[in-house]
Amino acid sequence: MISFQTKAQFNKDAAVILLTKSQIEKKKFNFSNAKIQNAVLDLAKNKTFCGDKDSIFPLTNEKKLVLLVGVDESKDANLTSLRITIKKALSSSYLKNAKTIELIPQVNDEPSIQALIEGIMIGAYKWKKYIKADEKEIKLKQIIIATPNKPAYQKTIEICDGVNFTRDLVNDNADVITSEYFEKTIKSLIKGKKNIALKILNTKELSAQGCGLHLAVNKGSDKEPKLIIVKYAGGKKSEPYTALVGKGLTFDSGGLNLKPTGHMETMRCDMSGAAAVVGTLKNVLKLNIKKNLVFVCGMAENAIGSCSYKPGDVFVGYAGKSVEIGNTDAEGRLVLADTIAYTVKNYKPATLIDIATLTGAVAVGLGFDFSGLLSNDQKLADALLKSSQETDDRIWQLPLYVEIRDAIKSNYADLRNSSNIKGGGAITGAEFLRNFIGDTKSWAHLDIAGSAFVEGTSRMYYGYGGTGAGVRLLTHYLINN
């Protein structure tokens, strides 16, 4: 989809030229094509095109389209705005029939080109498996960026592929993307790869291991629960392992604490954490990242049936701790509790990062553009925050503190899966998980319940559906730490 050339040639179906207002005002642009150079100069002189943010002006050059696009350079301008601009430009009706597009940036620094690649690949993504035809679809076969190729750009392309791979998993039907589908997908990713070990626990194995919390959530479903573990020995034998653990609720009805209309319709996205782990696995394998890693997906379905687990029930999990069910819609933390405890005991990772669409409360506090971060290790938190800033896969740190532990106490069990206080739901959810990390001194929890899915038409440079939240963040963290 994306390729590179050293300079503009203006020989494709269309050319998209990115210009800022100051470049237009000062006439600081130089195109290899004299006709286009003179045309843009004339437009600048008579102020027909001023380079205002997201403004678009079409020209023709030997029956080929040239699209001038204004790029934000205000004090608030950043690489996010550049990603948004290129998405809007490529969505223009002018380019509807263009099969090859030449993209001509006036700034060629590495971060800007990487942002353009993300704007193209993430912005142009559309889930269309069940759509016969859509006139508004961005029909792009090839985009050629007029800048010399670099290894960093190819890496960005690969990472974006991983993001969109995750989005495909999130966007399909819940009865398609089942735990069995996840198993097949992971097997296809690791087939023929070296230094890989796969372990899968189904109902029988989960029961034998005492994963009572995981099994409780799945009691109302006819789909089999699974704990899928990929051990990747990419680093030296002496190096410690990092574990990535994802919540994989292939659908969440809320259980007997049924979700109301307006809250259940998009709950196929409740496996976004596990999908992000799989997308990151894809990137690790493609980029041959030299680290020792464990990828873990805790898969279940929170359905309703005569066998559904009930509020007030008490179950004992893998760690031996009993949990009172205060709310069957606080199911993800139960699956994660057993998944995390099993990972810690059997793989002893030095660092563990879990990622989950855990609480609606995180969206109340942070909105939909940021994921929540909670950690017992500030060094790990700082590294993740830095990766967030570098990738635009946004996170914001929330506190964990001693007093919040009382919020998940139970009169009938060691813990309660829902808080007994009002407010702070994202924090109490993380506090529940903290009880299952054992002696792990470097743990982080990423709550992507707000950021993982777009329910409206679009948000930033994402269209409707899954965003792939966490994939760029985790991939960058693994490469750089």
Burial class (CB in 10 A: 0-12, 13-18, 19+), 222: exposed
Say which of 259, 286, 291, 348 is annotated catalytic.
Answer: 259
83 catalytic? Reply is no
Instruction: Say how far apart CA 336 and CA 248 lie, in whole Å.
Output: 9
CB atoms within 10 A of CB 258: 12
DSSP string across 141-195: SEEEEES---HHHHHHHHHHHHHHHHHHHHHS-TTTS-HHHHHHHHHHHHTT-SS
3-state secondary structure of 457: strand
Token code pair at residue 393: 């896969």
For residue 246, give the nearest of 222, 230, 234 by alpha carbon: 230
The amino acid that residue 390 corresponds to is E
Cross-strand partners of 3: 144
Half-sphere exposure of 396 (CA within 13 A, CB side): 13
333 catalytic? Reply is yes
Cross-strand partners of 91: none
Q: What does the DSSP 8-state code read for residue 240?
A: P
Say which of 219, 231, 333, 434 is annotated catalytic.
Answer: 333
Do 412 and 324 meet the contact criterion of CB atoms below 8 Å apart? yes
Q: What does the DSSP 8-state code read for residue 209?
A: T
Q: Which residue has the tokens 């403004």?
A: 55
Tell me the longest C-alpha to C-alpha distance in the chain.
80
C-alpha pair distances (Å), 404 with each of 159, 425, 428, 432: 37, 10, 7, 10
Instruction: Say how far apart CA 147 and CA 104 lie, in whole Å.
Output: 8
Catalytic sites, residue numbers: 259, 333
